[in-house]
Amino acid sequence: MYGRFKNTDLARNNMMKGAAEGDGAKVAVAPKDFHPDGTGGATVTCEVLTQTQSATEVTLPVCGWTDENTGASVAEVTPETVTQDPADVDLDKAAATTLKVRAEMRKAIE
């Protein structure tokens, strides 16, 4: 998303809540905030969802951020993550991946 976000915490929390309300989704690991260096104060929130698809439960780590003018949710879906026990998901790694996405999308368009 791109725009002007006056209440970044509210926007980010609503984004995470929306992901958790997806069809068949359940929060398996509650949202956790990360405050990484080099983000200009932006907070990254990560949670782990489970979702039943074709009678199989899959694990989905989801992270999101909202700063003054950008916001996004990032879910990295790999063969490893979908079969992982939700408690074993490395949210620090998921937050780092989200920061890479954030850095790429915030580059100036040339």
pLDDT at 60 over 80: yes
Q: Which domain holds residue 95?
A: 8-104
pLDDT tens digits for range 68-89: 888 889 998 999 989 999 999 9
Domain presence at residue 94: yes
Number of domains present in the structure of the chain? 1
Domain presence at residue 17: yes
Which long-range CB contacts under 8 A does 40-47 form with residues at least 24 apart? 40/67, 41/67, 42/8, 42/66, 42/67, 42/102, 43/8, 43/9, 43/12, 44/95, 44/98, 44/99, 44/102, 45/12, 45/13, 45/16, 46/91, 46/94, 46/95, 46/98, 47/16, 47/19, 47/20
User: In this structure, what are the phi and psi dihedrals at residue 53, rounded to the nearest 5 degrees?
Assistant: -130, 120
Domain presence at residue 81: yes
Query: Whole-prediction pTM value?
Result: 0.88
Domain presence at residue 13: yes
Domain presence at residue 3: no
Domain presence at residue 90: yes
Domain presence at residue 2: no
Domain presence at residue 109: no
Average pLDDT, whole number, for the chain? 88
